[in-house]
Chain A
Amino acid sequence: MSKTLIQPREIPEQEELNYLNNGTSLKSWLLTGDHKRIAVLYLIGISFFFFIGSIAAGLIRLQLMRPTGVLLENDTYNKVFTAHGIVMIFFFLVPSIPAVFGNFFIPLMIGARDLAFPRLNLLSWYVYMLGGVMFLAAMLGGGVDTGWTFYVPLSSMYSNTNVSLAILAAFMAGMSSILTGVNFIATIHKMRAPGMTWGRLPLFVWAHYATSIIMVLGTPVVAITLVLVLFERTFKIGIFSPELGGDPVLFQHMFWFYSHPAVYIMVLPGMGVQSELIANFCRKKVFGYHFIAISSLAIAALGFLVWGHHMYVSSQSMYQSTVFSLLSFLVAIPSAIKIFNWSATIYKGDVRLQTPMYYALAFMGLFTIGGLTGLYLASIATDVHLTATYFVVAHFHYVMVGGALTAYLGAIHYWWPKMFGRLYSDSLGKVSALLVFVGFNLTFMPQFIVGWLGMPRRYSVYYLAPEFQAYHIMSTLGSTVLGIGLFMPLCYLTYSLFKGPRASANPWGAHGLEWLTSSPPVTENFKQIPIVTDEVYDFDYERDHREHAEEADSEEVE
């Protein structure tokens, strides 16, 4: 750890050169190879698309307040939920944690100066943005009404909306995700600092390693599938549509071969964040470090073998369904292992209840429910009733929002001081975390019940079953609370950028190489590449209590 002495003659306002102020022209941002700047570019792009997706979500909830709909025509509603799905999945959840926090912190955590391929990294951002702009164009130019799943033959032969452009946009997002994955794998293999062995890798890095493998192996399949839909749509080449001699169920196999592992692309990085938060806010090494690391890889591997559980009623063979069901039950075990290990980490910890820990606790609660409700859907017999109802909607929102989004928010609150060198209000942070947790449960818990009653998803109106209304109203009210909880960080974090107190190098008293460098880090990350001698999450209560306890909250520069 290097100590920075403050020179007496230095003007206090004058900042040390860091990655943020090292070049301020637009060009220095748009042509940067610095992984930290690219992460910030991603943060801006992803926040923008999250905002678009949230507006669509708000419209959906508003529409469903009344059985006959409130605002939208059928077609408009269909375009809105399609936009919600495509934007949230391809342009928010898949890139969110990897492209922002993975990008920013993997090199810092392993003691590298950058990712292995800085220009590839920049390219991935441009490809992502290009895809995003294409999808915006598809939306503004009339919309897309196929659902994010692009099921054929609806998407290839029947829809007369901007399907082709949307498919190209999703293809671009996939390409960007492949580039990110390749970059992470190479970086983690080749660029670790001396002494940073695999057994000392933070679990965040392990999780991203597993995620990257899925990105690289899975994404090409969906890209090819979408291109085939495009060919069928444009050139009438029969692949999926029975009218042209194709097989519509083949599409579902190819689509879910990626799109189920994609769930793990979205949630594994969140689990990585969770491990960091739990360890650092309990001041304790994560319980069962090796089990958590290996369970990430197990999830990545098993995750490729369970896609058929989306297709129990698709007319795939009964025996095929049985096998997929068995494998789906097996993939639940590594997730359960993680939850139990995080819980056990708290035992004999020194728990700091600060904002990121609030989010970590919210993650545990919501992801537990999300994971357990997956059992209903892995089990074929119950899935025959529940599939494609609001039960499924509630389940995957518990995993995606309760898991991935909560972890994303936890990550923002945890690493914000490091990324921007500013502190935000901890009490506002706690309020927002509570609003998110309460609002989320209010929104999606009623959807479990209404789905169990038989409410199909993707319904613009439900006058066929008006008795579902009470649950929809509860859900809409809950989503308002959730919306406020999500809007708050946007305000106080933006405020902190300009007015927040300066952050020290390690404001949380956390452990990990990223906390050794200044906040915000210098462009080359470390003045000197660190040599790692500590074990990962090397907290020792006795020692820590003696040496660091007081230091943790203080503002002094380490």
Chain B
Amino acid sequence: MNSTIWNFPLAPDQASTYAGPHDALFYTITALTVLFTLIVFIAVIFLTVRYRRGTKVNRLDPVHEHLALELTWSIIPLILALGIFFWSTKNFIDVRTPPKDAMDIFVMGKQWMWHVQHPNGVRENNSLHVPVGRPVRLIMISQDVIHAFYIPEFRVQYMVVPGRYTYEWFQATKPGTYHLFCNMYCGTQHAEMGGTVTAMSERDYAQWLQNQGESVGQLSSVERGALEFDQMKCNNCHTDHDTERGPSLNGIAGTMRKMSNGSTVKADLVYLRESILRPWDRLTAGYGPAMPMYQGEISEEDVVSLIDYVASLGSAQLKPQMASDSRNLGTVSQKVRKEKQPRMAVGALGSEEEKSMGNPKPRALAVGSLADDGKGR
């Protein structure tokens, strides 16, 4: 035991593509900090010793104001600060802009554990397995208070907030086991709400997914959603065509919907979630407040599965604009967006991956629009 106490690690492992750029900036700021600290310390100590009482030095004609000097020591730090600002902002925009081909994993935080659901339905608690070399985007939501999903070795964290989806992305570069911390104080067992992030080769990851699946007998997110849809008797009202009891959900994901108050809303991830939890807030034109509220009745995981299922209904009619909406993260990503083929998976689904696993499943809805960082909802 004692031998392990006295080690003094000086830097966290670099295990993601972002760690390098982050650390370059970090060490640059460190160099500036050390430089300016030394300047002040040396100047103060030198002047204090030289001009301490009793020394025989020239104290005549002291200077009290000196505009040029003031401007010098205002403008030089200002220029350095602006340099750091631009560099840092560029890095930040990168770390907030997931690549288009990122694989989505759903994360739910609750007092006091993490719940992770992989595209094909594999779930794990207080741990996260990710493949090395593939960008991963975590779609996160909290069931109760605010948490934060923090992986120091990847240099990323983001708050996990109730009532809205947030995201963070990274690409692991090195197989290994890393820290997972909740880094937003969330009550009694905050310090114990953590675990490990395991980065593994693409092959090991596929293997792991498969094994987990066998042992749990898991359903894909869409299949789970279908089960819930059935169990909660959603199909009593929502059938394959609009009835007086409720509108059909076939093919609505991603389309523009007319509301009873005359407005038009896109049926994106956020809208679908709201419509399950608090349907009366936004009623479809022609319908009254007949559907029960499910807020507090079902977990955020179930909501995501339901949405995946709804999105899979009538997927043949999915409109191409869904794809573009799914990446509505702000101007930066819009510039690079040229993607033709609709990519919709929340979860997972990377449809290619599933096909390669010989297990084609209906596509799930893209979460992209949910992560509306630019809209400041």
Chain A positions within 8 Å of B, measured between CB atoms, are 74-75, 78, 145, 147, 149, 151, 153-154, 157-159, 241-243, 245, 247-249, 282, 284-285, 287-291, 312-322, 325-326, 329-330, 332-333, 336-337, 339-341, 343-344, 346-353, 361, 364-365, 368-369, 372-373, 375-376, 378-382, 384-385, 387-389, 449, 452-454, 456-462, 464-467, 469-471, 473, 541-542
Q: A315-B166, A333-B78 are in contact. Are A541 and B59 (CB under 8 A)?
A: yes
Q: Which residues in B have their C-beta under 8 angstroms from that of A384? A: 22, 92, 95, 155-158
Which of A75, A315, A340, A387 has its CB near the most chain B CB atoms (within 10 A)? Answer: A315
Q: A243-B296, A375-B84 are in contact. Are A154 and B375 (CB under 8 A)?
A: no
Assess whether B64 is interfacial by the CB under 8 Å rule: yes
Residue of B nearest to A537 (CB): B64
Within B183-222, the residues touching A (CB, 8 Å) are 183-192, 194-195
Q: From the candidates B32, B43, B57, B182, name the one contacting A375 in the complex (CB within 8 A).
A: B32
Q: How far is the CA of A471 from the CA of B36 in the complex (A)?
A: 25
Contact A321 B60 (CB under 8 A): no
Residue of B nearest to A74 (CB): B188
Least Cβ–Cβ distance between A160 and chain B, in angstroms: 10
Contact B62 A317 (CB under 8 A): no
10 interchain residue pairs of minimum CB distance: A242-B163, A454-B152, A381-B91, A379-B88, A317-B376, A459-B191, A346-B47, A380-B92, A329-B81, A154-B145
How does the 8 Å CB contact mask read for B76-116 relative to A, with 1 for contact and 0 for none? 01100110110111111101100000000000000100000
- Sample of 29 A–B contacts (CB below 8 Å): A75-B188, A78-B187, A153-B145, A154-B186, A242-B163, A285-B62, A288-B65, A316-B376, A317-B374, A319-B374, A336-B73, A337-B74, A343-B40, A346-B47, A364-B40, A376-B26, A380-B92, A381-B21, A382-B26, A385-B157, A388-B157, A449-B8, A449-B10, A452-B26, A453-B152, A454-B179, A456-B183, A464-B179, A470-B5
Residue of B nearest to A284 (CB): B62
Assess whether B341 is interfacial by the CB under 8 Å rule: no
Interface segment out of the listed B48-56, B130-138, B258-266 = B48-56
Q: From the candidates A158, A315, A378, A453, name the one contacting B187 in the complex (CB within 8 A).
A: A158
Least Cβ–Cβ distance between A511 and chain B, in angstroms: 14
Residue of A nearest to B30 (CB): A376
Contact A313 B157 (CB under 8 A): yes
Q: How many residues of B contact A (CB 8 A)?
A: 97
Contact B152 A464 (CB under 8 A): no
Q: How far is the CA of A361 from the CA of B95 in the complex (A)?
A: 40
Least Cβ–Cβ distance between A353 and chain B, in angstroms: 6
Which of B29, B91, B191 has its CB near the most chain A CB atoms (within 10 A)? Answer: B191
Assess whether B357 is interfacial by the CB under 8 Å rule: no
Assess whether B159 is interfacial by the CB under 8 Å rule: yes
Assess whether B358 is interfacial by the CB under 8 Å rule: no
Q: How far is the CA of A351 from the CA of B158 in the complex (A)?
A: 50
Q: From the candidates A247, A321, A347, A389, name the one contacting B92 in the complex (CB within 8 A).
A: A321
Q: From the candidates B47, B150, B187, name the one contacting A145 in the complex (CB within 8 A).
A: B187
Q: How far is the CA of A467 from the CA of B158 in the complex (A)?
A: 24
The majority secondary structure among interface residues of chain A is helix
Assess whether B7 is interfacial by the CB under 8 Å rule: yes
Least Cβ–Cβ distance between A229 and chain B, in angstroms: 13
Instruction: Give 15 A-B pairs besides A381-B91, A388-B183, A458-B185 with Cβ atoms closer than 8 angstroms.
Output: A145-B188, A151-B145, A243-B296, A248-B161, A319-B374, A346-B48, A347-B63, A348-B61, A349-B47, A361-B48, A368-B36, A372-B37, A384-B92, A459-B191, A470-B5
The majority secondary structure among interface residues of chain B is mixed
Q: Which residues in A have their C-beta under 8 angstroms from that of B192? A: 74, 461, 464
Residue of B nearest to A155 (CB): B145
Contact B148 A388 (CB under 8 A): yes
Least Cβ–Cβ distance between A358 and chain B, in angstroms: 10
Contact B6 A541 (CB under 8 A): no
Which of A285, A453, A454 has its CB near the most chain B CB atoms (within 10 A)? Answer: A454
Assess whether B236 is interfacial by the CB under 8 Å rule: no
Residue of B nearest to A242 (CB): B163
Q: A290-B65, A318-B330, A385-B155 are in contact. Are A379 and B29 (CB under 8 A)?
A: yes
Q: Which residues in B have their C-beta under 8 angstroms from that of A376? A: 26, 29, 33
Q: How far is the CA of A368 from the CA of B161 in the complex (A)?
A: 35
Q: Which residues in A have their C-beta under 8 angstroms from that of B48? A: 346, 351, 353, 361
Contact A372 B191 (CB under 8 A): no
Contact B26 A375 (CB under 8 A): no
Q: How far is the CA of A315 from the CA of B148 in the complex (A)?
A: 11
Q: Which residues in B have their C-beta under 8 angstroms from that of A452? A: 11-12, 26
Q: From the candidates B25, B111, B144, name the one contacting A382 in the complex (CB within 8 A).
A: B25
Assess whether B316 is interfacial by the CB under 8 Å rule: no
Contact A314 B159 (CB under 8 A): yes
Q: How far is the CA of A75 from the CA of B334 in the complex (A)?
A: 47
Q: How far is the CA of A467 from the CA of B11 in the complex (A)?
A: 12
Contact B150 A369 (CB under 8 A): no
Q: From the candidates A243, A288, A315, A343, name the one contacting B158 in the complex (CB within 8 A).
A: A315
Contact B81 A333 (CB under 8 A): yes
Q: How far is the CA of A242 from the CA of B7 in the complex (A)?
A: 44
Assess whether B9 is interfacial by the CB under 8 Å rule: yes
Contact B25 A318 (CB under 8 A): no
Q: Which residues in B have their C-beta under 8 angstroms from that of A243? A: 162-163, 295-296
Q: From the candidates A151, A316, A339, name the one contacting B146 in the complex (CB within 8 A).
A: A151
Least Cβ–Cβ distance between B339 and chain A, in angstroms: 21
Least Cβ–Cβ distance between A309 and chain B, in angstroms: 12
Least Cβ–Cβ distance between A1 and chain B, in angstroms: 24
Q: Which residues in A have their C-beta under 8 angstroms from that of B22? A: 381-382, 384-385
Least Cβ–Cβ distance between A381 and chain B, in angstroms: 3
Which of A159, A285, A317, A382 has its CB near the most chain B CB atoms (within 10 A)? Answer: A382
Assess whether B164 is interfacial by the CB under 8 Å rule: yes
Q: How far is the CA of A329 from the CA of B32 in the complex (A)?
A: 14
Q: Which residues in A have their C-beta under 8 angstroms from that of B163? A: 242-243, 247-248
Q: How far is the CA of A471 from the CA of B69 in the complex (A)?
A: 41
Contact B62 A389 (CB under 8 A): no
Q: How far is the CA of A78 from the CA of B37 in the complex (A)?
A: 35
Which of A247, A346, A365 has its CB near the most chain B CB atoms (within 10 A)? Answer: A346
Q: A287-B63, A343-B40, A452-B11 are in contact. Are A319 and B330 (CB under 8 A)?
A: yes
Q: Which residues in B have their C-beta under 8 angstroms from that of A340? A: 40, 73
Contact B156 A385 (CB under 8 A): yes
Q: Which residues in A have their C-beta under 8 angstroms from that of B111? A: 158
Contact B9 A467 (CB under 8 A): yes
Q: A153-B162, A459-B190 are in contact. Are A465 and B44 (CB under 8 A)?
A: no
Assess whether B354 is interfacial by the CB under 8 Å rule: no
Q: How far is the CA of A453 from the CA of B256 in the complex (A)?
A: 47
How does the 8 Å CB contact mask read for B1-28 relative to A, with 1 for contact and 0 for none? 0001111111110000000011001100
Residue of B nearest to A78 (CB): B188
Contact A381 B185 (CB under 8 A): no
Q: From the candidates A288, A336, A361, A457, name the one contacting B66 in the complex (CB within 8 A).
A: A288
Contact B152 A336 (CB under 8 A): no
